[in-house]
Structure 1
Amino acid sequence: MAKLTVEDLPLEGKKVLMRVDFNVPIKDGVVGDDNRIVAALPTIKYVIDHGGRAILFSHLGRIKKEEDKPGLSLRPVAERLSNLLNKPVTFVPVTEGKQLEDAIDNMKNGDVLLVQNTRYEDVKDGEYVKRESGNDPELGKYWASLGDVFVNDAFGTAHRKHASNVGIATNMPGKAAAGYLMEKEIKFLGDAVDNPERPFVAILGGAKVSDKIGVIDNLLDKADKIIIGGGMAYTFYAAKGIKVGNSLVEKDKIDVAKQILDKAGDKLVLPIDNVVADKFNNDADTKVVEGDIDDGWMALDIGPKSVEEFKNVLKNAKTVVWNGPMGVFEMPNFAKGTLEIGKFLGTLTDATTIVGGGDSTAAVKELGVADKLTHISTGGGASLTYLEGNELPGIAAISDK
């Protein structure tokens, strides 16, 4: 990798600032899903095992007013992290000032400290000022002054230019490195997009074509096949002149869909049948239809023939990237297409299989096939930006080797 990694840094006795992604669900003061905390453990353990003093920064949720702050404290995360590391984690309930500085000065080698939610800095004196999420230069400079080196292990925020990633890294030239999780994301997504083993198949789902235009456009030049599922498929149906009934269609994107179809030729694979419903409801009346969808009916999942067709395209693939569900995954009666694709990916033992995006990730975890896949990306928005071929500010700011 062309960027510095945590193993390139001197750590013994150093104050190691680390940007992690602890943006986890918290209910009644308890962490609901600790996957993102667990994902950061290898880098944290490496730092403290090598005599570093780990000073952790993360955001949690969005803070736009003072009243948002109490419910978005990272204190429950510090408690969960302490349990996972089996050692004390000092939680500092502020993001700047003497209390934070003294706590850092009192650290010993191998200690771990978690700073309060970085987005507390987005509201000052009741005003929404976006110091963190707007990459305020003074804030990045201040946070950088608290440490000796910087490790960015938060791929989930790499597509955003924040004070706690880009701001700190910019103020620590030659001392900003990628953590293990960031390194892994760059490797798998980078190889998939820039140097894939072929055949390379991309599976793109989700509601809107507008969310994925950049990805489709970039991957048309790189992938051998692009499978389209989810609500976005019906804008392509409309572009082909197929009747879509009450299905989701972005009318202002039909011309764009036509251009993509013209450019794609046989690379683009659309559903050949669909599970349609008479209303947007899990308990709606349903039927499977091929071709035109009648008025009063809407497509909410791919049909059984589409599942088989998609499997047929995937069976010989050597590289697969999947982002987005095949149907309305949150409704059990319209989750089958997504789950079938997830289950099939788990059987592709000769392929590099990469999954990103909330619903796709949830599907493979629900099926218990997550450990059979090569890589599950921790950043939906960041992985999409990467697949679009765009530079991620959080990665760009890491020092080159």
Structure 2
Amino acid sequence: MAWKTLDDMELAGKVVLVRVDINVPVEDGRVTDATRIERIVPTVNDILTKGGKPVLLAHFDRPKGKVVPEMSLKVVIPALEAALGRGVLFAEDCIGLPAKQAVAALSEGDVLLLENTRFHPGEETNDPMMTAALAALGDVYVNDAFSAAHRAHASTEGLARLLPAAAGRLMQAELEALEAALGNPARPVVAVVGGAKVSTKLDLLGNLVEKVDHLVIGGGMANTFLAAQGIDVGKSLAEHDMADTAREIMEKAEKTGCAILLPSDVVVARAFEAHAEHQVVAADACPADAMILDAGPETVARIEEVFSRCRTLIWNGPLGAFEIAPFDAATNAAAAQAAELTREGKLVTVAGGGDTVAALNGSGAAESFSYISTAGGAFLEWMEGKVLPGVAALNAS
């Protein structure tokens, strides 16, 4: 790995521009979920310990290059102070005189938050003048926002090319976890890919069949693959127009030696609602008036058997309609097995994606996984094999 970490940087007495992701949900002027804020605490504390002065750069919502008072970062200050256990100073702009004066007034031990970087159009266009204005404020750049690393913005990519740069602790953890999962993993490797549509995960599937030994396909996406094999899936969610694509992916997997696991039995119901009357049938025996809402127990047993033979697991997407019982059973059972193998030291487990995080939290397995990414789009693009501008800039630096 070519990028540097905080351990490689001399920070004493230096102003450290720290790109963080604190774009958190807010209701009635209060942060309702401080998870993203809590995850930057190790980086900020390490900078303070090393004698640096952390200056936080962040975006909030989508003001589209204009000052929108309702999208000011002021709203996160109470949650930020609670997480850090100290006061946080605030500058009314992220560049220009307000930012310069606030930085100049910093004493050792202070933490400064600058106003929403997206209040300036130059942020999202990665404008050189915007980048230079930001760079003029600090001595060192630290990127701790892996979740924004797929954006080539001034504060995520441009700055790393103008100042000595390093990955923060959260960025470091993300990159190390993904390197362990896809870069140089312990083999065999199994990937679980679920969710509604094949069309949204074409690049992901295409990349994974070249990288993993086993590919478990679940959710509505599995219905598309079953239909592509000529199986009647009744009223199930399926993209019938993606049949040729599904067959191409299966052919590619055969050539690369990747074993695809599709449901052999399924849970079907005639109503998509909690505790609807349901039954388990063979995957090729879905009634014409029913829909497939989960993988069946035989399929779960096959998945668990694959997990037991593998050393690395990458998970993106649920195996069924996990939002409503009992159609969360397959996801919960497979997640529990993965968690148990992780606790026993037999499996490295890395997961990410919005539905994935929710599903694993719901199953109670999340805390036992090796690493769960909350990075969303950046996590998916990494899994798709794409170059992330924010990471590439750190490597170049």
TM-score (norm 2): 0.92
Report if aligned partners of 1:338, 1:360 keep a CA contact under 8 Å in 2.
no
1:288 alignment counterpart: 280
Q: What is the rounded CA distance, in whole Å, between the counterparts of 1:46 and 1:54 in structure 2?
A: 10
Work out whether 1:337 is the aligned partner of 2:330.
yes
Task: For 1:16, give the aligned amino acid.
Answer: V
1:177 alignment counterpart: 166
**Aligned mate of 2:178, from 189, 193, 205:** 189
Deviations, residues 343-379 of structure 1 (Å, cap 9, x unaligned) = 2211012111111112222233334433322111131
- Structure 2 gaps of 5+ residues are none
Instruction: List aligned pairs for 1:309-328, cutoff 5 A.
Output: 309-328=302-321
Task: For 2:380, give the aligned amino acid.
Answer: L
2:62 alignment counterpart: 62
Kindly state the Cα deviation for residue 209 of structure 1 after the two structures are TM-superposed: 1.1
Work out whether 1:383 is the aligned partner of 2:379.
yes
Task: For 2:4, give the aligned amino acid.
Answer: L
**Aligned mate of 1:222, from 211, 224, 227:** 211
Q: What is the rounded CA distance, in whole Å, between the counterparts of 1:365 and 1:268 in structure 2?
A: 26
Instruction: List aligned pairs for 1:208-219, cutoff 5 A.
Output: 208-219=197-208
Report if aligned partners of 1:4, 1:400 keep a CA contact under 8 Å in 2.
no
Kindly state the Cα deviation for residue 106 of structure 1 after the two structures are TM-superposed: 0.6
Task: For 1:336, give the aligned amino acid.
Answer: A
Identity value in percent: 43
1:109 alignment counterpart: 108
2:123 alignment counterpart: 132
2:37 alignment counterpart: 37
Kindly state the Cα deviation for residue 132 of structure 1 after the two structures are TM-superposed: 2.4
2:366 alignment counterpart: 370
Kindly state the Cα deviation for residue 102 of structure 1 after the two structures are TM-superposed: 1.0
Kindly state the Cα deviation for residue 284 of structure 1 after the two structures are TM-superposed: 4.4
**Aligned mate of 1:247, from 223, 229, 236:** 236
CA RMSD in angstroms comes to: 2.0
Deviations, residues 4-35 of structure 1 (Å, cap 9, x unaligned) = 21222221111100111112211122222222
1:147 alignment counterpart: 138
Report if aligned partners of 1:50, 1:110 keep a CA contact under 8 Å in 2.
no
Instruction: List aligned pairs for 1:9-28, cutoff 5 A.
Output: 9-28=9-28
Distance 1:111 1:329, change over 3 A: same
Q: What is the rounded CA distance, in whole Å, between the counterparts of 2:335 and 2:84 in structure 1?
A: 32
Task: For 2:362, give the aligned amino acid.
Answer: E
Kindly state the Cα deviation for residue 229 of structure 1 after the two structures are TM-superposed: 0.6
- Paired positions, count: 390
Task: For 1:154, give the aligned amino acid.
Answer: A
Greater displacement, 343-352 / 248-257: 248-257
Deviations, residues 209-259 of structure 1 (Å, cap 9, x unaligned) = 122222222221221101011111111111111112222222332111101
Q: What is the rounded CA distance, in whole Å, between the counterparts of 1:135 and 1:268 in structure 2?
A: 41
Report if aligned partners of 2:99, 2:137 keep a CA contact under 8 Å in 1.
no
Distance 1:54 1:334, change over 3 A: same
Deviations, residues 190-213 of structure 1 (Å, cap 9, x unaligned) = 132122111211111111112222
Q: What is the rounded CA distance, in whole Å, between the counterparts of 1:89 and 1:178 in structure 2?
A: 22
Distance 1:62 1:280, change over 3 A: farther
Q: What is the rounded CA distance, in whole Å, between the counterparts of 2:285 and 2:128 in structure 1?
A: 55
Q: What is the rounded CA distance, in whole Å, between the counterparts of 1:71 and 1:243 in structure 2?
A: 51
2:267 alignment counterpart: 275
**Aligned mate of 2:357, from 354, 357, 361:** 361
Work out whether 1:206 is the aligned partner of 2:183.
no
Report if aligned partners of 1:235, 1:253 keep a CA contact under 8 Å in 2.
yes
Q: What is the rounded CA distance, in whole Å, between the counterparts of 2:351 and 2:101 in structure 1?
A: 42
Q: What is the rounded CA distance, in whole Å, between the counterparts of 2:324 and 2:266 in structure 1?
A: 15
Q: What is the rounded CA distance, in whole Å, between the counterparts of 1:379 and 1:70 in structure 2?
A: 26
Task: For 2:228, give the aligned amino acid.
Answer: A
Q: What is the rounded CA distance, in whole Å, between the counterparts of 1:136 and 1:396 in structure 2?
A: 18
Q: What is the rounded CA distance, in whole Å, between the counterparts of 1:370 and 1:3 in structure 2?
A: 28
Report if aligned partners of 1:205, 1:326 keep a CA contact under 8 Å in 2.
yes
Distance 1:78 1:300, change over 3 A: same
Distance 1:70 1:305, change over 3 A: farther
Kindly state the Cα deviation for residue 65 of structure 1 after the two structures are TM-superposed: 8.6
Q: What is the rounded CA distance, in whole Å, between the counterparts of 2:276 and 2:14 in structure 1?
A: 60
Q: What is the rounded CA distance, in whole Å, between the counterparts of 1:60 and 1:383 in structure 2?
A: 20
Distance 1:132 1:257, change over 3 A: same
**Aligned mate of 1:235, from 224, 231, 234:** 224
Secondary structure, aligned partner of 1:33: coil
Q: What is the rounded CA distance, in whole Å, between the counterparts of 1:399 and 1:141 in structure 2?
A: 20
Report if aligned partners of 2:265, 2:281 keep a CA contact under 8 Å in 1.
yes
Q: What is the rounded CA distance, in whole Å, between the counterparts of 2:64 and 2:277 in structure 1?
A: 42
Task: For 1:374, give the aligned amino acid.
Answer: S
Kindly state the Cα deviation for residue 42 of structure 1 after the two structures are TM-superposed: 1.0
Q: What is the rounded CA distance, in whole Å, between the counterparts of 1:292 and 1:73 in structure 2?
A: 55
Report if aligned partners of 2:96, 2:133 keep a CA contact under 8 Å in 1.
no
